[in-house]
């Protein structure tokens, strides 16, 4: 019997968000970018890109896999996310990323808490 693996979905990442999509904003993905669900992003020339430095650049967490030119929802405020589903990227240090997200009102939790 073959085993099927389901791709990650928003429900795996987002434990809580405010009603009426208050926690989300939509952004266009910058040229040359391919982003995945749960990846931390920053804003560059009005478009989102993969996070390159933590120093208060993080604007949120991508809520869908996407490529250049796509309009994608980004979790930007007032929410709780599962730590195992966040893609901190190569430039991110987890503790700094958590602090930056908390400053936005995004709480990172393990499944046990």
**CA-based nearest residue to 28, from 78, 68, 55:** 68
DSSP labels for 66-110? EETT-EEEEE-SSEEEEGGG-B-TTT--HHHHHHHHHHHTEEEE-
**CA-based nearest residue to 62, from 8, 10, 7:** 10
Q: What is the pTM of this model?
A: 0.88
Q: Does the residue 12 lie in any domain?
A: no
Going by pLDDT thresholds of 50, 70 and 90, the confidence category of residue 108 is very high
Q: Does the residue 63 lie in any domain?
A: yes
Range of the domain at 90: 22-108
Region at 80 (left for phi over 0; alpha for psi -120 to 50; beta for the rest): beta
Q: Does the residue 13 lie in any domain?
A: no
The 10s digit of each residue's pLDDT in 16-75 is 999 999 999 999 999 999 999 999 999 999 999 998 877 678 999 999 999 999 999 999
Q: How many domains does one find in the chain?
A: 1
């Amino acid at each position: 019997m073959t085993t099927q693996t389901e791709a990650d979905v928003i429900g795996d990442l987002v434990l809580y968000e405010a009603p009426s999509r208050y926690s989300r904003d939509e952004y266009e993905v910058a040229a040359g970018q391919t982003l995945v669900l749960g990846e931390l992003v920053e804003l560059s020339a009005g478009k989102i890109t993969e996070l390159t430095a933590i120093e208060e650049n993080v604007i949120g967490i991508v809520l869908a896999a996407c490529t250049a030119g796509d309009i994608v929802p980004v979790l930007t405020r007032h929410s709780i996310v599962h730590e195992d589903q966040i893609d901190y990227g190569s430039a991110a240090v987890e503790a700094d990323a958590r602090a930056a997200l908390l400053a936005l009102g995004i709480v990172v939790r393990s499944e046990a808490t």
